[in-house]
Amino acid sequence: MTQVFYSSTLFGAMTLAAAIDDGRFGPRAGRRLLLVSNNAAIPEITPGVDETEGFAAIRSRFDDVRSWNEIVAPLHPSDWKARQAELPMLGRLLRSDLGLGDGPAELIVESIAVPPSRTLAALIRDCPITVYSDGLMSYGPTRDPLPSEIAGRITRLLHLDLVPGLAPLLLREAGVAPQAVPDAAFAEVIGAIHAPADLEGEAVILGQYLSALGILTGDEESAMHTAMLRAVAARGHTTVLFKPHPAAGRRHARRMRAAAADLGVDLRVAGETVPAEVCVKALRPRLVVGCFSTALITSHRLFGAQVATMGCETVLERLAPYENSNRVPATIIDATLPRLAEDGTITDPPPADLPGLVEAVGYCMQSEQHPELREATARYLAEHGAQPRYFKNRRLAALGLADAPPPCRAGRPSALGRLRRALAR
């Protein structure tokens, strides 16, 4: 029978390859089909997973590769989901198109709470589901409640052991057991991907796509990258590699070049589709800087690189709503990694009870899914206080874990009050 794998990123496909090599999907007795999806805002101008150079190194793990974008075109894969009444018909059509017969032996997906994974789980029925996580989001709670028909089929959560000793919150409410994919298996996959010959840099700056997510404006994200560049220059690094996020394009790199010229820094730019881990493995840089990229953790764990974060406090302040699934990754990075200042100094974060902090933040994000964490959250807050960078007072008050904030002072009406008066006028 067929095992159907789904991935939207090269990092995710690398995680699948490592899990396959580690024997997590058994011997290769049947067909292995990989569905790839390009979830970029404009997928037509962004390379997909199977169009990257690094994909060739892991292609042999799969018998067939199909594009989910082509199947659902002209609709965007992150937006489309079948209506309930259409599920049986569309499910049959999909099984026929993919050559699945009566159905696959197993469905393996990422980000189960949202399309395309949630859409695939609804269409491809009557088989067990394995969820794999390709980053730090496995340590945060499930983004949205899952229907019982999907949740009841999930048998395990595969994740990289990025933070040893920290148990994932993802799918815990459904009783799903997490299984860590060994570092060695993932490192071997990285080792099989050839780095471009022109890579160069004493320090590496990791770009993300915070403006595309609405966390920062484009100018603010560019300013953050420029601040990182000034910081590494202040530490004496004269050749710097900027690694853009695959979904961000090169607009940030163009804005950084002028700043690099003023600082006397030779700025190199890696291809968007080259994994950050491949760059770090090839260069062995003296410093890797980013905001809250998972690559900060993998660079340190797998290759022993010195890493530092910059801008996490701003991101934690801007994330909205509080349930934003980037909150736990940003919290982990901020609480555990050294912090880089614009003058080049690096300071360690205060000591943290990371398991307690992550579970407390996770409870505040999704209290209804994790009522069992309420007492532990109250104890954590009593011992450590309501640290403003991680907890919002209004959120705590809504959960009965803090006093309600004082009302707006007279003469300074709230935004809602101003809106009401404007509408009345």
Residue 393's Cβ-side half-sphere holds a number of Cα atoms within 13 Å equal to 5
Structure tokens given for 286: 């003296």
Q: Which domains does the chain have, with CATH numbers?
A: 2-191 (3.40.50), 203-347 (3.40.50.1980), 356-398 (no CATH)
Answer yes or no: is pLDDT of 408 > 60.
no
Predicted structure pTM score: 0.92
> Buried b / exposed e across 84-101, counting CB within 10 Å, b at 16+?
eeebeeebeebbeebebe
Are 129 and 109 contacting, i.e. CB atoms less than 8 angstroms apart?
A: yes
Q: What is the pLDDT of residue 425?
A: 54
Give the ranges where 235-353 is alpha helix by DSSP (H). 251-263, 276-283, 294-303, 312-318, 327-336
Rounded distance between C-alpha atoms, residue 362 and residue 142, angstroms: 9
Model confidence band, residue 252 (pLDDT cutoffs 50, 70, 90)? confident
Q: What is the DSSP string of 14-50?
A: HHHHHHHHTTTT-SS-SEEEEEE---SSSGGGS--GG
Q: What is the DSSP string of 59-86?
A: GGG-SEEEEHHHHHTTS-TTT----GGG
More confident residue, 209 or 306: 306
Answer yes or no: is pLDDT of 412 > 60.
no
Are 146 and 174 contacting, i.e. CB atoms less than 8 angstroms apart?
A: yes
Rounded distance between C-alpha atoms, residue 327 and residue 317, angstroms: 10
Are 228 and 264 contacting, i.e. CB atoms less than 8 angstroms apart?
A: no
Q: Residue 146 gets which letter from DSSP?
A: P
Q: What is the pLDDT of residue 407?
A: 59
Rounded distance between C-alpha atoms, residue 144 and residue 325, angstroms: 10
Mean predicted lDDT score pLDDT of the chain: 93
Segment 151-188, tens digit of pLDDT: 999 999 999 999 999 999 999 999 999 999 999 999 99
Q: What is the pLDDT of residue 42?
A: 85
Rounded distance between C-alpha atoms, residue 405 and residue 297, angstroms: 36
Are 9 and 246 contacting, i.e. CB atoms less than 8 angstroms apart?
A: yes
Sorted by sequence, the CB contacts under 8 Å of residue 261 that are 6+ apart come out as none
Q: Given CA atoms 364, 366, 367, 370 in this order, what sign does their dihedral have?
A: negative
